[in-house]
Amino acid sequence: MTPPTVVKLGGSLAAAAQLPRLLDELADQSSLVIAPGGGPFADAVRRAQKERGFDDAAAHDMALLAMAQFGRMLAAQAGFRTARGAGRIAAALARDPSHPPLVWLPDPAVDAPGVERSWRITGDSLALWLAHRLGARRLVLLKSCPIPTADLQTLAAAGIVDEVFPEMARGYANVRVSLIDATRTTDLLDELNGCDGPMSTTQEHMRSLSVAS
């Protein structure tokens, strides 16, 4: 089976005008898994924690469920397949890797065991965990902001990826990581295909990198 590609669709794109077009462009891709961000559902968890004062471990589990809610919404909008938990994603890919894409609905009971349960971890690191778990050859992070550099530490300091992501990427160096400003791209599929090649310094909305272990 061809190793899958994991595309993390950031929750900040939930209200973006480009979202329907992005989903249309992804629809015919084989061996593609979409890892959803938390979007407005994760924002609701943050508000509830602030109001009720429950701990970060509970908030982390609720945030995974928020990702599943956003993922379910994306799948319903685009007619994509869904599977709850990484194990079922892997099984679905083994049965039929063809299109439409699979949307991962995270399950806190079985997904990302051992990953820190705090707000230091976001959907970016969880998508990287999923890519490693599935044996994916690459992870593409679709963002709603410019990508000024390919340096993960700088991106983490700027809040573009979470603070744990650079360390996790070093541990999962078999997964090639790319970032795309999805609000500026004019042809997502060309850029996804271009993620396998060298980084273009003229395309500031796309950064591809390999992370040494």
Structural domains of the chain, with CATH: 5-209 (3.40.1160.10)
Q: What is the pLDDT of residue 76?
A: 97
Report the C-alpha dihedral over residues 74, 75, 78, 81, rounded to 10 degrees.
150
Structure token pair of residue 112: 């990302």
Q: What is the pLDDT of residue 205?
A: 46
Name the one residue in this structure whose structure tokens are 């272990």.
213
Q: What is the pLDDT of residue 98?
A: 86
Q: What is the pLDDT of residue 189?
A: 77
Q: Compute CA distances 133 → 12, 48, 52, 84, 90, whole Å.
A: 25, 31, 34, 14, 9
Q: What is the pLDDT of residue 184?
A: 80
Distance CA 61, CA 106 (A): 10
Q: What is the pLDDT of residue 103?
A: 98
- What pTM was computed for the model? 0.89
Q: What is the pLDDT of residue 191?
A: 67
Q: Which residues of the chain have pLDDT under 70?
A: 186-187, 191, 194-213
The beta-strand segments (E) located in the chain are 5-9, 32-36, 81-84, 102-105, 138-143, 176-181, 206-209
